[in-house]
Amino acid sequence: MNADPDDQPADGGAEAHGESAEPRRSGPHGHIPVMADRIIELLTPALGSAERHSPVFVDLTLGAGGHSELVADTFPSARVIGVDRDESALGIARERLRAHGDRISFHQARFDELPRVLVDADVTSVDGVLFDLGVSSMQLDRAARGFAYATDAPLDMRMNSDDELTAADVLNTYSHGELARVLSEYGEERFAGRIASAVLREREREPFTTSARLVELLYASIPAATRRTGGHPAKRTFQALRIEVNHELDALIAALPAALSALAVGGRVVVMSYQSLEDRIVKREFARQTTSTSPAGLPVELPGTAPRFRLVTRGAERPTEAELALNPRSAPVRVRAIERVEEDRP
């Protein structure tokens, strides 16, 4: 089942994973890997080939380690490099993956720091890379992290607790123009200016510290007619704040070319996106990498201009009904995959 989600509404954050509408269903480590069978199917040609005796797989969004556990179990000769900016996630993943011993290494880093991670891991090329974007189920389920708007919690939203900027800082220090830009650009919020005005007015009375007060402001700022048809009124604002705090889109823009550059011939990058902003970035980069650089209109392709990658998925794949029944948080996911078919040209 394929779809092109370029016109889908922003649907990241808590609601992207079913936070507001579905019961939580988690595995023993607080995470059910989304579209597990399909992800393994997409990675098998890259990691399960008889020609690859010790393939290298990089999980750039390790989280609780669900997808990496599947890869390690499915491909017993594979080496797994697990990357996450969240120290607590790395701790959980280490425990979950302990049985696999030194086949798996763990690195605290943002995914756009992949070149440094590969140097640290003494790796020059990789065979498979996975991006599972957005906020993880584990982070949603920990109210103190402030990602979910259904529970009153500190306005934190940092994926790495060592980072300085929090969601409260954004609300309490950004100018009206800066805040409206964040809400409009990262949340695709129609009422960004109105919300920004309300935030500036309310923070003069008292700084924002917890999510319940912000949710109350959003209910008051967004017209009733929109609230009835547009999903939870906090959805877009929480998504925007999370993206701003963690610089998620900038990191993705930098990380995709780095991951593709690191691929060996026959290697694959698989990306799981949960909202349209992420998916558009992935779609554009994959299109760029799979397009010939020959001038348009020539009867033949010039030597050296053929693309070095090919698309594996047709458009963006969606979860099946069976997947949705197993894991309601998979509802917004869009999966795209790409494969290297030729070495980089000198």
Residues making up the annotated binding site for S-adenosyl-L-methionine are 65-67, 84, 111, 132, 139
Cβ neighbors of 230 (< 8 A, separation 6 or more) are 9, 222
If you write DSSP's letter for every residue of 262-306 in order, what string do you get? HEEEEEEEEEEESSHHHHHHHHHHHHHHTS--SPTT-SSPPTT-S
Q: Which 8-state DSSP code applies to residue 41?
A: H
Cβ–Cβ < 8 Å for 204, 212: no
List CB contacts of 204: < 8 A, sequence separation 6 or more. Answer: none
Whose tokens are 């599947």? That residue is: 70
DSSP SS3 for 254: helix
Q: Could you tell me whether strands 263-273 and 79-84 are parallel, antiparallel, or unpaired per DSSP bridges? A: unpaired
Q: Is 132 helix (H, G, I), strand (E, B) or coil?
A: strand
What is the rounded CA–CA span in Å between residue 76 and residue 47? 10
Question: Which residues are annotated binding-site positions?
Answer: 65-67, 84, 111, 132, 139
Whether 310 and 289 have beta carbons less than 8 Å apart is answered as: no
Distances (CA, A) of 40 to 51, 66, 102: 18, 12, 22
State the burial class of residue 283 (Cβ atoms within 10 Å of its Cβ: 0-12, 13-18, 19+). Answer: buried
For 3, phi then psi, to 5°, come to -155, 155
Between CA 134 and CA 11 the distance in angstroms is 10
Q: 256 is written with which tokens?
A: 């995709």
Cα distance between residue 266 and residue 181, in whole Å: 41
Cα separation of 231 and 236, whole Å? 9
